[in-house]
Amino acid sequence: MQNGRPTIVNLIPSSNPAHPLLKRLPEIGEVFHRDRMSEEEFQEVAPHADVLVSASNLRVTDEELSHYPALRMVGDFGVGFDGFDVPAIARRGLRACHTPDVLSEDVADLAIGLLLALARSLPAADAFVRAGRWPNENFPLGRRIAGCRIGIAGLGRIGKVVAERAKAFRMEVGYTARAPKDVPWQYFKSVKDLAAWCDALIVVIPATPETHHLINREVLEALGSKGFLVNIARGALVDTEALIEALRDKTIAGAALDVFEHEPHVEDGLLKLGNVVLAPHIGSATVETRDAMAELVMENIRLALNGQPLVTPIPGTRRD
């Protein structure tokens, strides 16, 4: 607390002045951007910080938390929190929020969009026309996705919306989860079994130490030479080297990726391949959803500063 207002330290890069959350944080308190402060300035501000704001693609470690002895809550602008040291947050008795649900629709839309782009070679078709090749050449045939078997690896909030979208394409839906759910779709115990069954495998599983490289060489071989892989979850879920090998050797037909193991770096092996569609982690990147995410973080911050339970606490953190 400084000058009678809460002190907010922001870890999200401040280079985008139009970021919906960064625009609104001053409504609540004095905002200090970590990437704009000198070390001397940071040492002066950190002991007074009430709120720490970050994003799901960034890391909030126990060491980072140790800089803020007066901290009351941690805000995550995103649904994923694999970069957040949740045990350390809980041990320090901090409230912490994330932004589930509000982004499910857009991420699911992108999953279907990526599958369409991959099956119908839309990026290549665009380049084909722009290069003036249409008058003299025939563009290769694509693949139909209507009526195909779609496998959803992880039937959580987003996975269920993907399944609902699949209805419009008359797709047959299969899924994996920790246990069967009360849904009308076919359950598979393992991702490998699901991959062997489906035509397109959509990865929507949270990133944890247990799910690291869950999509490995065996899963890709099970998916087969006509199978498509779409990853809208986390890059670390897929063994990138195994994927590059599978794409290069045509072990699978193609992949569409919105997330990468070492993003924003993308392996050269992926960039050189023609049977992969790449996107810069834009699953929730619509005006409407980013505004809704910002509003949810703001609501949670206000509640935390008033000592009230959060609307969307990060699982494993304080709930009172």
93-137 pLDDT, tens digit per residue, is: 999 999 999 999 999 999 999 999 999 999 999 999 999 999 999
pLDDT in tens, 229-240: 999 999 999 999
Distance CA 237, CA 50 (A): 34
Q: Of 261, 200, 202, whose CA–CA distance to 226 is shortest?
A: 200
Which one of 157, 213, 281, 318 is the catalytic residue? 281
In this prediction the pTM is: 0.90
Q: Work out the average pLDDT over 165-188.
A: 97
Could you tell me the pLDDT band of residue 17, with boundaries at 50, 70 and 90? Answer: confident
281 is catalytic: yes
Cis omega before residue 264 (within 30°)? Answer: yes
Angle between helices 104-119 and 157-167 (to 10 degrees): 50
User: Would residue 212 show up in a list of annotated catalytic residues for this protein?
Assistant: no
Cα separation of 118 and 273, whole Å? 13
What pLDDT, in 10s, does the model give residues 196-223? 999 999 999 988 899 999 999 999 999 9
Comparing CA positions, the residue from 289, 311, 319 lying closest to residue 20 is 289
Tell me, yes or no, if 234 is annotated catalytic.
yes
Matching fold, domains 7-99+286-305 and 104-278: yes
| CB neighbourhood size of 136 (10 A) | 6
Q: Out of 172, 218, 263, 295, pick the active-site residue.
A: 263
Can you say whether residue 213 is alpha, beta or left, with left for phi > 0 and alpha for psi between -120 and 50 degrees? left
Superfamily name with CATH number, domain 7-99+286-305: NAD(P)-binding Rossmann-like Domain (3.40.50.720)
Q: With beta carbons less than 8 A apart as the criterion, state whether 246 and 218 touch.
A: no
- Give the contacts of 98 (CB within 8 A, at least 6 positions apart): 56, 76, 78, 79, 80, 81, 312, 314
Identified catalytic residue from 34, 98, 234, 290: 234
Element (H, E) at 173: strand 172-176
The CATH class, in words, for 104-278 is alpha beta
The span from the CA of 305 to the CA of 78, in Å, is 20
Enumerate the domain spans of the chain: 7-99+286-305, 104-278
Of the pLDDT bands very low, low, confident and very high (cuts 50, 70, 90), residue 57 is confident
